[in-house]
Amino acid sequence: MKLPIEFIHKYQQLLGDEAKEFLASFQEKSYSGYRINPLKPDFVIDQNYLTNEKIEYCDTGFFGSVNGKSIDHTVGYLYSQEPSAMYVGEVADPKPNERVLDLCAAPGGKSTHLVSKMNNEGLLVSNEIFKKRATILAENLERWGAKNTIITNESPEKLAPRFLNFFDRILVDAPCSGEGMFRKDPEAVSYWNIDYPLECANRQRKILASAMEMLKPGGTLIYSTCTFAPEEDEQIIAWLLTNYPTLSVEPIKKYTNMDSGRPEWADNNSELAKTVRLFPHHIKGEGHFIAKLKLAGNDISNKNQFQQTSKLTKEQVTLFNDFTQTVLNQINFNSLITFGDQLYSIPDGVPSLDHLSVIRPGLHLGTFKKKRFEPSFALALALDSSSVKNKIKITEEQWREYVHGDTIKLDHDLEKGWYLLTCQGHSVCFGKAVNRTVKNFYPKGLRF
Ligand SMILES: C[S@@+](CC[C@H](N)C(=O)[O-])C[C@H]1O[C@@H](n2cnc3c(N)ncnc32)[C@H](O)[C@@H]1O
């Protein structure tokens, strides 16, 4: 890979003797990894995935790559994620029942990790500013079986007034100059110029100013980038400490060959050494920077449930109850609301989402059509198959035909109605059995 000459000079100055080894690492191969999904209790994962080398700092992380067209990946048993990026979710370490915001969330690597750590409890608001990327984020979170998550498509400035002093934990995985990803995405080199880190830093400060409005007293802010640029790393944390004096830096555990942040690359504040740098010439992964900060003060926020408006009509209640009683075992969903014909189960404690661009206000349960309820793909992937009465086991070959858009032929009669299709123990989709045929309800946009 050909690195820009100004990039080389900059890091020769910053790193001195170490620069040679650092710059040489750009000619080495990049690392791939994946996390397995602890939320799916009927976990019958291909054992081959578990024999790969484990990632030291992430219980669910392994080195290796995943076939994007495999069942395991398609139904959210695995998420392909660069190994260093996994340390961000581990450092964030959200707890079940917290209110958590992932402010720059697409395509969803960190959000899926946060949902796992929260055991699908509490509230995760997963936000992405760009619509197309927010749609991909929603797909990834649905595959993962997220139930406690609201997905928004907003600018941080517009989100802030709605969630003032609201969150226990906020992750800002900031848009950055991406120097740490040069090996993985050589195109990123073409966007780089010597002024780019400062441009990114300006944007990062704006995003963080909004994040700080939403962080409650006593809350935790996690800031991460995939760049080496001090302007976007230590200097941003120094800026935060100067402008928000009640913030303090929390120490982050340094696993094998992880480096401390460099105070001398900012204002010499020794607290900056508590942050962590992952350098590709030291660890098996790409470049990353992570900081964890705590806001002083006691939590005075109101944990009561605010929301929610659109109640179900009597007919909708009957249709949904008919579905749950016929198809599912006893399951309690959180508060139910409708947006148009769409039915959602929303996490507790959510303020009004009016006038925000909301991609998913919670778990999408399905759609009310004329006199019937049609369960969603998201519901199928969020359900443990043991919680479903009506199931049909399909073979891998039938699964391949189904994800392609074909129907499934049955060799015996089944009562007409909805069935959860399972393949190799995974919940894969709902289908409707009619006369020895399972009609295809695999989402059109996801067929392959
Ligand atoms: C590093 S990526 C996030 C990766 C993601 N956290 C993950 O783990 O999959 C940064 C994200 O910030 C978004 N972004 C860009 N400009 C932004 C802005 N002004 N405010 C908030 N987010 C922005 C980008 O679209 C991008 O999705």
Output the CA 109–ligand 1 centroid distance in Å: 11
Instruction: Supply the ipTM of this predicted assembly.
Output: 0.99
H helix runs in 125-233, sequence order:
131-144, 156-159, 187-191, 196-214
Active site residue 58: no
What homologous superfamily does CATH list for 5-295?
A: Vaccinia Virus protein VP39 (3.40.50.150)
109 lines ligand 1 (CB under 6 A): yes
User: Whose Cα sits closest to atom 2 in ligand 1?
Assistant: 175
180 lines ligand 1 (CB under 6 A): no
Report the amino acid identity of residue 259. Answer: D
Matching residue, tokens 């349960």: 365
156 lines ligand 1 (CB under 6 A): yes
Q: Which of 101, 129, 226 to mutate to test the pocket of ligand 1 (most atoms within 8 A of CB)?
A: 129
pTM of the full structure = 0.96
Q: What is the DSSP string of 218-270?
A: EEEEEEEES---GGGTHHHHHHHHHH-TTEEEEP----TT-EE--GGGTT--G
Catalytic residue among 58, 176, 200, 226: 226
Output the CA 432–ligand 1 centroid distance in Å: 38
CA 9 to each of CA 4, 13, 181, 187, 264: distance values in angstroms, whole numbers, following the listed order: 9, 6, 19, 20, 18
Residues facing residue 61 across a β-bridge: 35
- For 141, phi then psi, to 5°, come to -70, -35
Predicted confidence pLDDT, tens digits, the chain (448 residues): 899 999 999 999 999 999 999 999 999 999 999 999 999 865 556 667 777 899 999 999 999 999 889 898 999 999 999 999 999 999 999 999 999 999 999 999 999 999 999 999 999 999 999 999 999 999 999 999 999 999 999 999 999 999 999 999 999 999 999 999 999 998 889 999 999 999 999 999 999 999 999 999 999 999 999 999 999 999 999 999 999 999 999 999 999 999 999 999 999 999 999 999 999 999 999 999 999 999 999 876 655 545 555 688 999 999 999 999 999 997 888 789 998 899 999 998 888 888 999 999 999 999 999 899 999 999 999 998 889 999 999 999 999 999 999 999 998 889 999 999 999 888 999 999 998 999 999 999 999 9
First-last CA distance in the chain: 33
